Structure 1
Amino acid sequence: MSSLTGKVALIQGGSRGIGAAIVKRLVADGASVAFTYVSSAAKAEALQNELIAGGGKALAIQADSADAQAVQRAVAATAEAFGGLDILVNNAGVLALGSVEDLSLAEFDKTLAINVRSVFVASQAALQHMGNGGRIINISSTNADRMPFAGGATYAMSKSALIGLVKGMARDLGPRGITVNNVQPGPVDTDMNPADGEMAPGMLGLMALDRYGTAEEIADFVAYLAGPQAGYITGASLTIDGGFGA
């Protein structure tokens, strides 16, 4: 029996990159998994169909994480389709780079809406369906603790905000045995930040390991936190960054 057999998970932002790797890993571990996407409908449908064809249970849901009502509907749709909700992974995020002198208020507000507010909205909605022993896992960033280059103030702020949110939520939900944690990746090889991209040489120069991480390595970490072995970990911001913050 797989470690997540009988569990239901929702991944915000799961059609590509780290999110897709998490979807695949949790399905492989036996969970029924719903995931949201914004505009990449073809990728989302292909991932859903691939997992179903392999004997898994998967559901793609169109929902913009900047839209609170859309997030709430996605949570409700997950619970209706699979009979409840045990694991919430908040992976949706945006990266707006720019000096505080130039970054627009619209970009600032969008960063907060997706990187912070959607975590609160999804978590609040999920708790209506989540029983004791549930899991809430946020995909944050090592930039919550270290921002070594210019232009990332707003992004770093949004990720560091999750540290305080998780600590407080862990206190609120501890009596229900629900754990709440952040996973803080460093540079990961995805289409948004490829290991051979423009930023790679600078990133590698900041790391202890001379390579980018893989989406599968992040998914492995998430799967551990979602499983029964991690029941005593809560309120933590756990870094997986190849020594970026060392």
Structure 2
Amino acid sequence: MVFSLKGKTAIVTGGGSGIGKAISTTFARQGAHVCILDFSTDNGNNTVSEIEKEGGSANFYQCDVSNQEQMETIFDEIAKNKTINILINNAGIAHVGNIENTNSEDLDRLFNVNIKGVYNGMKAAISHFKKHKSGVIVNMASIAASVGISDRFAYSMTKGAVLTMTYSVAKDYVNEGIRCNCISPARVHTPFVDGFIQNNYPDNQAEMFEKLSKTQPIGRMGKPEEIANLALYLCSDEASFITGSNFPIDGGFVTLNN
């Protein structure tokens, strides 16, 4: 089977909803045992149930990715029974605002989840990967790491850090058999987007959905499953020659917007 993950164990942070859920279910269908780390117990358990109904294998661990001790404990627990092969650093939070209306609490909150959470995941995973001289990391960055987007000051800061951390880890561990890449989506249609539109534009939701969809030159938002399929390729043996790379998946947003 092409892009098979049979016999592999994959850890997916934020794996209970949105893009993370799509990655979790896609990986399980391709034979991986998926360890879902999520702050939401309901989302995590529901995703495990869906995977198991399809005949897949998964476990859920309630987790705050910004807590280093908690992350290391979970990785060590998983490693007692499984060889950890893949880490998807997907957990993240968003923020709307420019530098003037981004307060220090906002900045700290995004730093702790989007930057420290990725750091915690990679630091915990690499110690296990090195034992087996193999491992794959995919970090979820964003087009906001590469181009200027209005009112995304703190979010762009964190995703820029994810991008450069990816390059650094790829360089430092290329001789340890560890590959590290990142994916940079544009706007993807997730429950977060629906909630954002409902909360901020309650009187013209359909109009705003259409407007946001058309900010991608291709004319629509991405689908979580499309991001998951790219992650699947990057974690498969077919991508064994790829490391230290950033993969925009953006409907042409970065290169085709004038």
TM-score tier after normalising by the smaller chain length:
over 0.9
Measured against aligned partners, the alpha-carbon deviations of 1:70-106 in whole angstroms (never above 9, x if no partner) come to 22222223223x4120000000001122221121211
2:232 paired residue number: 223
2:77 and 2:106 mapped to 1: Cα distance?
29
Query: What percentage of residue pairs aligned between the two structures are identical?
Result: 30
- Asked whether the 8 Å contact 1:12–1:91 carries over to 2, the reply is yes
Which segment is superposed worse, 22-31 or 155-164?
155-164
Shift of 1:146: 1.7
Q: What SS does the corresponding residue of 1:206 show, helix, strand or coil? A: coil
Measured against aligned partners, the alpha-carbon deviations of 1:174-233 in whole angstroms (never above 9, x if no partner) come to 002211011001111101013994553443343210011100000000000000011111
1:196 and 1:60 mapped to 2: Cα distance?
27
- Asked whether the 8 Å contact 1:189–1:195 carries over to 2, the reply is no
Higher helix share: 2
Shift of 1:30: 0.6
2:155 paired residue number: 155
- Asked whether the 8 Å contact 1:108–1:154 carries over to 2, the reply is yes
1:27 and 1:237 mapped to 2: Cα distance?
24
Q: What SS does the corresponding residue of 1:64 show, helix, strand or coil? A: coil
Alignment of 1:91-110 (within 5 A): 91-110=90-109
> Cα gap change, 1:147/1:205 in structure 2, threshold over 3 Å: closer, same or farther?
farther
| 5+ long unaligned stretches in structure 1 | none
| 5+ long unaligned stretches in structure 2 | 202-207
1:50 and 1:192 mapped to 2: Cα distance?
20
2:189 paired residue number: 189
2:19 paired residue number: 18
Letter in 1 for 2:12: I
Q: What SS does the corresponding residue of 1:192 show, helix, strand or coil? A: helix
- Asked whether the 8 Å contact 2:65–2:120 carries over to 1, the reply is no
Using the size of structure 1 for normalisation, the TM-score is 0.93
1:177 and 1:28 mapped to 2: Cα distance?
25
1:174 and 2:174 aligned = yes
1:54 paired residue number: 54
1:241 and 2:240 aligned = no
2:91 and 2:42 mapped to 1: Cα distance?
18
> Cα gap change, 1:31/1:207 in structure 2, threshold over 3 Å: closer, same or farther?
same
1:214 paired residue number: 223
1:205 and 1:27 mapped to 2: Cα distance?
32
> Cα gap change, 1:196/1:129 in structure 2, threshold over 3 Å: closer, same or farther?
closer
The Cα RMSD (Å) is 1.8
- Asked whether the 8 Å contact 2:95–2:154 carries over to 1, the reply is yes
Using the size of structure 2 for normalisation, the TM-score is 0.89
Shift of 1:37: 1.1
- Asked whether the 8 Å contact 1:188–1:195 carries over to 2, the reply is no
Measured against aligned partners, the alpha-carbon deviations of 1:162-182 in whole angstroms (never above 9, x if no partner) come to 221111111111002211011
